Amino acid sequence: MKMLDKVVDVHGWLSDKDFIWWPFSFLRPVPAAPMTFQLTCLMTICFAGLSSLMYAVYSIINNAFDAPTLLKNILMFFVLFFIWFNVVTKPLWNQRARRLKV
């Protein structure tokens, strides 16, 4: 249990940094508020959308644009962000939120 508390503390410390949420700081709930599934879906759309845009620009700049690869990577961004936010971020955030409410 002690190790989980340390992981929650480190995750909370990182999650409180503005650069982690850039440019979507408005999505960050207050530390004592639980993170909902709806919020993680919105976060997925925002962060995966930004990553997809950045990847598309990178591909064009490097003359490596390929539509099938781009579509595959966009899908991968959405799946990976969705999994990360719901398997890692939300449980750790909510663990800290429960602790802060006590």
CB 53 within 8 A of CB 19: no
Q: Residue 4: its pLDDT value, please?
A: 87
Rounded distance between C-alpha atoms, residue 1 and residue 9, angstroms: 12
The closest of 24, 72, 76 to 46, measured between CA atoms, is 24
pLDDT tens over the chain, length 102 residues: 699 889 999 999 999 999 999 999 999 999 999 999 999 999 999 999 999 999 999 999 999 989 999 999 999 999 999 999 999 999 999 999 999 988
